[in-house]
Amino acid sequence: MKIGVPMEPKGETRVAIVPGSMKKLVKSGFEVIVEHNAGVAANYHDSDYEEAGAKIADRKTVMECEIIISIRMVDVDELSKDQVIACVADPFRHPEKVNDCINSGITLLSMDMIPRRLSRAQSMDVNSSQDNLAGYKAVLLGASHVPRGIPMMTTSAGTVRPAKVVIMGSGVAGLQAIATAKRLGAIVYASDVRKSAAEQIESVGGRFIEVDGMDDFEDESGYAKPLTPEFIQKVNDTVCEVASEADIIVTTARIFGRPAPITVPKSAIDNFKSGAVVVDMNADVGGNCEMTKQGEVFTTDNGVIIVGTSNLPGTLANTASMLYSNNLTTFITSLVDKENGFQISEEDDILVGAPEGNDFHVPGMGGVLICKDGEIHPKQTRLGGVL
């Protein structure tokens, strides 16, 4: 069976499969066809792919393969009935693309829907692998824009006190951001709506910002629940008060399938000190900072620098591509049966979600299988509600 790896659209520097994955894919029986120059932006060249066992071809040839592996969703008009595409489709924000796949009889596997709590899913979890890099890069961006040093320095000219960093949210991205800021020598404070996150924050060197009335606001799938407006205000007030003296503030709050919640209102920015840097990790989905401009870095009237860089993993394209490729290679090869070859099985919890009664079952949510044979998968009732 042939796997096609197309070039990503303009603005996406990553590539879905890297040469290092060829050995495992070929051993599993796949023939991999990569679009000419698909990996150049991530420093993977056609010659690297050919040496590893892949074939290089034009886009038309690539898009005729039985399985397409990409990062962004491709144009469905390039696909044909019964093809399979595995990508990050973001189906709740792009239901029209799901409908296009349903109407065209295309099987859509959306990797951002991975049941991340299943232990077997961890090696396939593209959300975690890319968020990890994003958290790391967010702190580096903050450090590059802040007009002062980060660690404490004792010199003959005087002592430089360590910078103060506030990380808003402590999921995968947040924990990596905390650890990175700590490694740079900063004093790090961090918040989360999940009270259980305090121990994780402290384990990587952060100081937990507790809000009165905080509970464990986490849903069955491991994502943060939507909060009441009253509690959001309370969190904003408490955390932004701590952040008012910070040098770098990194916002990470992301709610699955919904616009990013505002955690830094304009009123808070007005009280931040001049020279402070706000790195908004969710500029692509509305932003956590009320003043964020997607894809821009600008300075407010009171001297606060707001970084709205989109696609943070893409700024580390080589490493991000390698991790994504590892995730997808593990996933695709797991669907190969020795006797029957590549199979989309209704018994696979990664594909369809955990069965009812299982500790990992999430009502209304299936796995990565979104649609097949012209129909949305019956377990995707939450998604069905927005189609």
Provide the annotated active-site residues.
116, 122, 125, 128, 223
Enumerate residues 6+ apart whose C-beta is below 8 A from 34.
Answer: 4, 5, 17, 46, 49, 54, 55, 56, 57, 62
Asked whether 301 and 274 are in contact (CB, 8 A), the reply is: no
Please report, in angstroms and rounded to a whole number, the separation of the first and last CA atoms in the chain: 31
Residue found by looking up tokens 């997808």 in the block: 328
Write out the two tokens for 172.
């995968």
Write out the two tokens for 117.
């709590």
User: Following DSSP, what letter does each residue of 322-386 receive, concatenated?
Assistant: HHHHHHHHHHHHHTEETTTEE---TT-HHHH-PPTTSTT--TT---SEEEETTEE-TT-HHHHTT
Asked whether 125 and 109 are in contact (CB, 8 A), the reply is: no
178: enclosing H helix or E strand: helix 172-183
Q: How far apart are CA 13 and CA 2, in angstroms?
A: 24
Which DSSP state fits 72?
S
